[in-house]
Amino acid sequence: AQSVTQLGSHVSVSEGALVLLRCNYSSSVPPYLFWYVQYPNQGLQLLLKYTSAATLVKGINGFEAEFKKSETSFHLTKPSAHMSDAAEYFCAVSGGSNYKLTFGKGTLLTVNP
Amino acid sequence: DGGITQSPKYLFRKEGQNVTLSCEQNLNHDAMYWYRQDPGQGLRLIYYSQIVNDFQKGDIAEGYSVSREKKESFPLTVTSAQKNPTAFYLCATRDRANQETQYFGPGTRLLVL
């Protein structure tokens, strides 16, 4: 069985401030981990993924995430927030033969001018 | 233009009516998925198909049905047995050649009249 917990359903930052979105997971097999972003009334866009290569993963739009096995975490960061980063962010874990994705409940990021 | 298309963008259902959501892909991916998204709930898996003429129930399959007669198409029918169908429905494909990454369509919003 696998599960994802995203701490904080809503995070608010000022433009130019650090963005930190938290994700903890549980998985009975070595996981693949993903972060997706969703803008209103749109589908999900892949930001980045961890698939057992480098533990620090760089994605699009200046985002990165670090896989920490000992903490079962995969937190998403960006050094400087931009207004265009305002969206909902989902962390997901995949594992097993059918590669089903299990999602967290999402974190809504608000960026204040 | 490659990708995943979902139609219609908005769909209205009357009481007791079955409705079908379309998902088409030209990415040549074998596996396809249907998810339901409700506010604050993340995404939940309805059905998935790993190959043509085969599909499995996900976590919330009751009140839904699917078919997979062609590699390119994976339609979802919301039956009258689904008592709370109002949601955003997302179709995805999985790319085996890219670390099993799932890619999402733009979604269909289903509303009940």
pLDDT > 90 in chain B, percent? 81
Determine what percent of chain A is predicted with pLDDT higher than 90: 81
C-alpha to C-alpha distances, B3 to A88, B27, B56, nearest whole angstrom: 22, 6, 23
Write out the two tokens for B22: 């379309």
Q: What residues 37-56 of chain B have any CB closer than 8 A to a CB of chain A?
A: 40-45, 48, 50, 56
Q: Name the residue among B41, B101, B107 with its Cβ closest to that of A46.
A: B101
The closest CB to that of A51, out of B4, B99, B104, belongs to: B99
Average pLDDT over residues A31-49: 94
Please determine, for residue B38, whether its predicted confidence score (pLDDT) is greater than 60. yes
Instruction: Compute the nearest-CA separation of B2 from chain A (Å).
Output: 15
* pLDDT (mean) for A20-41: 92
Which tens digits make up the pLDDT trace of A9-26?
Answer: 999 999 999 999 999 999
The Cα A87–Cα A99 span in angstroms is: 26
Report the distance separating Cα A63 and Cα A90, nearest Å: 13
Check B94 against A99: CB less than 8 A apart.
Answer: yes
pLDDT in tens, B64-99: 999 999 999 999 999 999 989 999 999 999 998 888
Which residues lie closer than 8 Å to A48 by C-beta, 6 or more apart? A34, A35, A57, A58, A59, A60, A63, A64, A65, A76
Phi and psi at B102, nearest 5°, equal: -100, 140
Distance (Å, rounded) from C-alpha B95 to C-alpha A51?
Answer: 13
| Cβ within 8 Å of residue B50, ≥6 positions away | A98, B30, B31, B56
Residue of B nearest to A37 (CA): B104
Residue B1: its pLDDT value, please? 56
The separation between CA B77 and the C-alpha centre of its own chain, rounded to angstroms, equals 9
Evaluate if residue B40 carries a pLDDT over 70. Answer: yes
Residue A26 CB: number of other CB atoms within 10 A?
13
What pLDDT does B97 receive? 86
Interface contact B43-A43, CB threshold 8 A: no
Sign of torsion, CA B36 A3 A28 A95?
A: positive
Residues of A with Cβ-Cβ distance to B99 under 8 angstroms: 32, 49, 51
Pick from B7, B102, B104, B111 the residue to mutate for testing the A interface (most A CBs within 10 Å): B102
pLDDT of residue A27: 85
- Nearest-Cα distance to chain A for B17, in Å, is 24
Neighbours of A35 (CB within 10 A): 26
A97 contacts on B by Cβ (under 8 Å)? none
Whether residue A95 is predicted with pLDDT greater than 80 in this model: the reply is no
pLDDT at B2: 66
